[in-house]
Amino acid sequence: MENFKVRLKNHIEHVKNVREHCTTEETTKQALILPFLDILGFNAYDPQKVKAEY
């Protein structure tokens, strides 16, 4: 659980640092959402867990 908290805090700092550069949906997904799903334990590349949007 401690590792989760550290990873989440690091991601929060990452979001603060890059959010102004996330001006498109795809950039937001790549920079913020996919890493967050990874922190939560999801494999973003498993179509049984996460559906890609096209």
Q: Given CA atoms 20, 29, 53, 39 in this order, what sign does their dihedral have? A: negative
Q: What does the alpha-carbon distance between residue 22 and residue 4 come to, in Å, rounded to a whole number?
A: 24
The answer to whether 42 touches 50, Cβ cutoff 8 Å, is: yes
Query: For 19-51, what is each residue's pLDDT tens digit?
Result: 999 999 999 999 999 999 999 999 999 999 888
The pLDDT value recorded for residue 50 is 85
The pLDDT value recorded for residue 52 is 82
What pTM value is reported for the model? 0.84
